[in-house]
Amino acid sequence: MKIPPYPHPRIAREGWGILAGSLAASVLVSFWSCWAAIPFWLFTLFALQFFRDPARSAPEGDGLVLSPADGRIVCVEDAPDPYAGGRRALKISVFMNVFNVHSNRAPVDGKVQSITYFPGKFFNAALDKASLENERNALVLRTLQGHTVTAVQVAGLVAKRILCHAQVAQTLYAGQRYGFIRFGSRVDVYLPLGARPRVAIGDKVQATSTVLAVLPDAPDDEHSPA
């Protein structure tokens, strides 16, 4: 069994500061007025559920591509991967609303080839144009079998902070926590042609627990267009 590189927090570390601040404000305002403190306590409860980060178990099997995020499938289509040389790929997108867990996990075992941040706009992350016009962070992985898999964290309408803790040349295992997006967003996954999707538009998925697709047996170059 693969062991996480740090003890798994039930509340994401990215939210500790926000939770501590909102809790302190709620308590202080409560001493002045219980009624005035209600909005502060509501925000504290919202932050507590937003930054929850439950441990997940990954299914076993060869070539499995795990969901990098909780949410709903909004795209399953062939599309060019602009972060890996424009190669044709199977693109699967997961949209996260503010009530989903926003911790992001690696979809496959692989070595990080590149990490590229792109400033951009903040359209509704459920829209197709958000993939290429919103603020985003692209993580390109290379599996031991020679497949290239790209996971792109995309900011949403109210998401203002993309966090990526992975580093170039680091080896990640499928389901390993590598980042977080604050307040509504999506993650796009680009897979080599020949990958077989296991989800459809509208399906609800869970990070690590849900299989998005199965990678082809042959490496990428055997599936590249002539």
The residues assigned a catalytic role are: 185
Length of the chain: 226
- Cβ atoms of 161 and 97 closer than 8 Å: no
Long-range contacts of 194-203 (CB under 8 A, 24+ apart): 194/218, 194/223, 195/65, 195/90, 197/76, 197/90, 197/92, 199/73, 199/76, 199/92, 200/73, 200/76, 201/73, 201/74, 201/75, 201/76, 202/72, 202/73, 203/72, 203/73
12 is written with which tokens? Answer: 């994401």
**Sign of the torsion formed by the C-alpha atoms of 89, 83, 69 and 133:** negative
Q: How many whole angstroms separate alpha carbon 207 and alpha carbon 226? A: 35
